[in-house]
A and B are shown apart, each in its own frame.
Chain A
């Protein structure tokens, strides 16, 4: 029995383990970045923290709540909303300076700019529900991570000498972009092939672990 068959045979347990690992990673990143934000009041750290806070909620809803309640229909739109918002926050953490200036805005969850993200996420979720697809989530995330990959590539080239993690950041963005592209192809090209799904989960897990590695290594406490 190969590893894929073993995972497929025990998929519910593996899904739960996968979700718990990602929720734990998000929890650690949020804790570490919250402390840095508390001391520095730096808006970029705040948006970055929000991204992983929303990722944590999304994975909790999608995997833990679904397993606990079985209400897939109600929970999927919520998961989609939080995943889209998390992506927006992650991208915004890279570009906020160009939009807000160095001082930033007072609230990171309820400012006018963030309200636009909420509205966009809500529209995407509503359209996906009404068309019974997940394609708008997939496409929004592909566009978003494509932009984030370009920005992180520029950051890597500009700052390679002064920091070591920007290369990993760029790789993480590429992995997530690949995961979302695979995700969008799974319903059609791969016909929900379990092996393809496992590869997506693996890419997702690596993405989160890279960020955990960065957060732990840089903060060192």
Chain B
């Protein structure tokens, strides 16, 4: 059994799943994130609240998530954040 993912790793995985698909339906993202529905809801609410992702509705009334600029920035700088935490023992 793999080790439990850190909070930042979960966020990275969710954002990466959205980026790889450009936009993604909630159900597909739930599967891709490998989280329980309850945890998924908590993370998604946090990511929307922090403006990392947005929930949009297309012409066919289908809901899908896409990344904001802040979400892209997070993924670009994830390595720096991870290194900083590791190197400074935070």
Contacts and interface: CB of A to CB of B under 8 A. Distances in A.
Contacts of B81: 36, 39-40, 42, 45
Nearest to B81: A40
Contact of B90 (A39, A41, A48): A48
Dominant secondary structure of chain B at its interface with chain A? helix
Contacts of B21: none
A40 B90 contact: no
Dominant secondary structure of chain A at its interface with chain B? helix
Nearest to B11: A40
B86 A159 contact: yes
Interface string B46-86: 00001000000000000000000010011001001101111
Contact of A169 (B50, B85, B88): B88
B80 A94 contact: no
A220 B90 contact: no
Contacts of A146: none
Contacts of B74: 39-40
A39 B77 contact: yes
A117 interface: no
A149 B84 CA distance: 18
A98 to B, nearest CB: 12
B7 A220 contact: no
Interface residues of A, number: 32
B89 to A, nearest CB: 4
Interface stretch (A107-115, A160-168, A196-204): A160-168
A71 interface: no
Contacts of A163: 83, 86-87
B7 A44 contact: no
B8 interface: yes
Contact of B80 (A103, A155, A219): A219
B20 interface: no
Interface of A: 33, 35-36, 39-42, 44-45, 47-48, 93-94, 96, 102-103, 151-152, 155, 159, 162-166, 169, 214-215, 218-221
Interface of B: 6-8, 50, 70, 73-74, 77, 80-81, 83-90
Given A44-B90, A103-B7, 11 more contacts: A36-B77, A36-B80, A42-B85, A42-B90, A47-B90, A93-B88, A93-B90, A163-B87, A166-B87, A215-B84, A218-B84
